Structures are given as structure tokens and as C-alpha cells.
Amino acid sequence: MDTQFLQDNWMLVSLAVVSGGMLAWSFLGSRLSGIEQADTLKSTRLYNDDALILDVREDKEYAAGHIPKAKHIPLGNLNSRIKELDKHKNKPILVTCRSGQRSARACNMLKKAGFESVFNQSGGIIAWERANLPVDK
């Protein structure tokens, strides 16, 4: 490998390494944390099997359209309202948001609080709507 190139372009090389690491973390982070991802098919199965659907979006987002039967607790309120979910500690919970980022954080919070069967909805409500699945307003 040409060390002169690396020395002359150390910032570019650093940027490539950091970008690659961030990309790898986005794919592996939730797997390493023990949070299972649920694609649209898995989400539909969980929904049909009466899993708790937990929507962690903000009020306006939830009002614009949500999965039928979803319980709404915005991510910022989850810690203070987590006791509301205690009866579901041993049951499946599908956590959703707009795209899957906030729901991943909520899944981590639930796991730390002792919830056993937590799933992050991959792609969030965006994926749900793209699959033409039902939405309540």
C-alpha cells in the first residue's frame, strides 16, 4: 500500500473509516444489543398474534396515522410511564416510530427494564404504510 497516499490524504482516509464504522454499527448495533428487528411480515404476524404495539412518536405524528390498536407513549415520556406496560413484561411488544430509530432506543429501554420479548419495527410506520397495511387516524 502506498504510505505516501495515506499521509497526504489522512483526513479522507479517516472519514472513510469513520463512515464505514457508522454504517456497520447501523446494521450490527441492534443485533449486538439483543433487540430483534421485525420486518413488515414479522410485524404483521406480531400484530395478528395480539402483541402489544407501542408507538413512541410524538403526538402530532401519532395523530396523523398509526397502527390500529397501538398504545401511544412518546419516547420522551417512556421512562416515566413504563409502569403502564408492566403487564406485558412476558409478552411480545412491537415498538414502532417513523423510521425505526426512536423505536430502537425505546427497545433498549424496555430491555433494561426487564421486558423479555421486544421487537423493533424495521422501517417504522413508513414501511408499514408502504406495505399498504391498515392505519388509523
Cα(11)–Cα(17) distance, rounded to whole angstroms? 10
pLDDT averaged per 10 residues in sequence order, the chain, 137 residues? 76 79 60 78 96 98 97 98 96 96 95 95 96 95
Residues 6+ apart with CB under 8 A from 91: 51, 52, 117
49: containing domain:
37-130
Residue 137 lies in a domain: no
Shared domain for 11 and 48, answered yes or no, is: no
Residues 6+ apart with CB under 8 A from 84: 71, 73
Tell me if 56 sits within 8 A of 73, measured CB to CB: yes
User: What amino acid positions are annotated as catalytic residues?
Assistant: 97
Residue 49 lies in a domain: yes
Tell me if 89 sits within 8 A of 115, measured CB to CB: yes
User: How confident is the model at residue 26, as a pLDDT?
Assistant: 57
Tell me if 52 sits within 8 A of 113, measured CB to CB: no
User: How confident is the model at residue 45, as a pLDDT?
Assistant: 97
Q: Which of 98, 88, 97 is nearest to 118 (CA)?
A: 88
Shared domain for 6 and 64, answered yes or no, is: no
User: How confident is the model at residue 25, as a pLDDT?
Assistant: 58
User: How confident is the model at residue 5, as a pLDDT?
Assistant: 76
Cα(37)–Cα(21) distance, rounded to whole angstroms? 20
User: How confident is the model at residue 11, as a pLDDT?
Assistant: 82
Q: Which helix (H) or strand (E) holds 31?
A: helix 10-32
Q: Which helix (H) or strand (E) holds 61?
A: helix 59-64
User: How confident is the model at residue 31, as a pLDDT?
Assistant: 53
Shared domain for 52 and 10, answered yes or no, is: no
User: How confident is the model at residue 112, as a pLDDT?
Assistant: 94
User: How confident is the model at residue 105, as a pLDDT?
Assistant: 95
Residue 10 lies in a domain: yes
Shared domain for 23 and 53, answered yes or no, is: no
Cα(43)–Cα(124) distance, rounded to whole angstroms? 10
Question: What's the chain's Rg over C-alpha atoms?
Answer: 18
